[in-house]
Structure 1
């Protein structure tokens, strides 16, 4: 018997949901129950406090990704779900990196941070904390250049994004 090789890809979904208690849990629960993979999930209230924007990055083949969209669309609190295509959207992610740094290494790390337009947000006797926002490839490039340093802690927010322009904006009265 020949097994069919499935092509795995990533898709970014932007959800506009009612800002109700437990909505994030219900969405994550749907993924868990169905065995779908969440690569990252971010959520935050919008300019209108009645609504929350949730960005989910999911992996799977085309069938799984289309099922995710259909199943999420059925949830009661979901007002809108959009697929954020890379060519029509802006994605960003935030990382904070705590790096072991003696006085001699600090200048090198600060120079590296400057090149990437990162911010030094904390300085201690033996460490620096760097904050960097950008695309995943920018963050990965920065982390690759930190290869010779000891990273004490690393925190990532996951991707958040919006579609470009005004054509896909949902206005709710």
Structure 2
């Protein structure tokens, strides 16, 4: 059965690493649902978080292929254990002075906040898991979403497990 998988990859912070990882996924016919890359806790190393869909066997193949890439130091299947994952979205919504209070009432249960007010729009910031963000977007659609930007998922394992350099 196909399901979402979150994979964390610790890599050397070198030009071309992201391209090699994305190319490997494309060449093997695997889709990237989300990818985020940023500095890790160790200087000179970056952490990539990739969300993809597939069965367990497919994900196992992907992880083996990642291990073969130059500059990949460690690969971890985060979603196989307890993890914390978050995404950030900025949503620009049409808003008149008459609808602003109503929109604030919609976003408040999501712990979202208004980060910019324009003459005919609001920019709303929300963080949380992908399902939470999807739900807020759906509730804001009737107001007219003018623009949407999502970061993609970032994640980390819970507890003492780490993806530190070996």
Give the TM-score band, short-chain normalised. Answer: over 0.9
User: Runs of 4 or more off by more than 6 Å in structure 1?
Assistant: none
What is the TM-score normalised by the length of structure 2?
A: 0.93
Which runs of no fewer than 5 residues in structure 1 stay unpaired?
1-6
For the pair 1:71 / 2:35, whether they are aligned, the reply is no
CA distance in 1, matches of 2:132, 2:80: 15
| 1:106 aligned residue (100, 104, 129) | 100
Contact 1:37 / 1:60 at 8 angstroms: preserved in 2?
Answer: no
Aligned-residue offset at 1:121: 1.1
For the pair 1:8 / 2:30, whether they are aligned, the reply is no
Which runs of no fewer than 5 residues in structure 2 stay unpaired?
none
What is the TM-score normalised by the length of structure 1?
A: 0.90
Aligned-residue offset at 1:67: 0.9
Q: Per the alignment, in what secondary structure is the counterpart of residue 146 of structure 1?
A: helix
Aligned-residue offset at 1:90: 0.1
Q: Per the alignment, in what secondary structure is the counterpart of residue 60 of structure 2?
A: helix
The more displaced of 55-64 and 94-103 is 55-64
The CA RMSD over aligned residues, in Å, is 1.5
**Residue of structure 2 in register with 1:121 after alignment:** 115
For the pair 1:159 / 2:150, whether they are aligned, the reply is no
1:20-52: per-residue Cα shift (whole Å, max 9, x none)? 011111100111111111111110112323010
Which of the pair has more CA radius of gyration?
1
Q: Per the alignment, in what secondary structure is the counterpart of residue 119 of structure 2?
A: coil
> How many positions carry a matched residue from both structures?
166
